[in-house]
């Protein structure tokens, strides 16, 4: 695999980052988007967070998302199989999920099922 020069921050560049005071950051990860991160635990699973996923995220992705609109189709918790007009799926608007900030210990950020966000209307 060819190495891409400049794809990762050097140790000197990492030392200049002010988004984390203690704990683990993903600055050596080539997939790191550069979002400011809350400190994490060394036992946290590796890999990127899902900025548009359900659940607390250590990163602040609000500037990366910008004003674009994101939605995903999930199973309708109110689906009535006896009613042919009852939709099987609904859209979940994902932009508000970016604001779910925090550290869900031992879980990678934003990886709860998106169906958790589909609220029954009853």
Q: How far is CA 99 from CA 84, 112, 114, 121, in A?
A: 36, 15, 15, 23
Whether 9 is covered by a domain: the verdict is no
CB 55 within 8 A of CB 110: yes
pLDDT of the residue at 4: 42
pLDDT of the residue at 91: 92
Whether 45 is covered by a domain: the verdict is yes
Whether 2 is covered by a domain: the verdict is no
Quote the pTM value. Answer: 0.64
Count of structural domains within the chain: 1
Whether 121 is covered by a domain: the verdict is no
Summarize pLDDT for 21-57 with one digit per residue, the tens. 555 554 555 556 667 777 767 777 777 788 899 999 8
Pick the more confident residue, 114 or 44. Answer: 114
Whether 5 is covered by a domain: the verdict is no
Provide the residue range defining the domain that includes 88: 14-115
Summarize pLDDT for 58-101 with one digit per residue, the tens. 888 888 888 889 999 999 999 999 999 999 999 999 999 999 98
Whether 122 is covered by a domain: the verdict is no
CB 109 within 8 A of CB 58: yes
């Amino acid at each position: 695999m060819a190495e891409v020069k400049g794809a990762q921050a050097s140790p000197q560049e990492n030392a200049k980052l002010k988004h984390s005071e203690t704990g683990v950051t993903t600055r050596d990860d080539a997939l790191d988007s550069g979002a400011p991160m809350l400190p994490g635990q060394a036992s946290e699973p590796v890999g990127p967070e899902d900025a548009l996923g359900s659940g607390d995220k250590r990163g602040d992705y609000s500037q990366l998302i910008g004003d674009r609109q994101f939605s995903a189709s999930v199973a309708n918790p109110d689906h009535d199989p006896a009613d042919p007009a009852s939709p099987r799926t609904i859209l979940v608007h994902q932009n508000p999920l970016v604001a779910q900030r925090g550290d869900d210990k031992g879980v990678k950020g934003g990886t709860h099922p998106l169906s958790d966000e589909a609220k029954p209307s009853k």
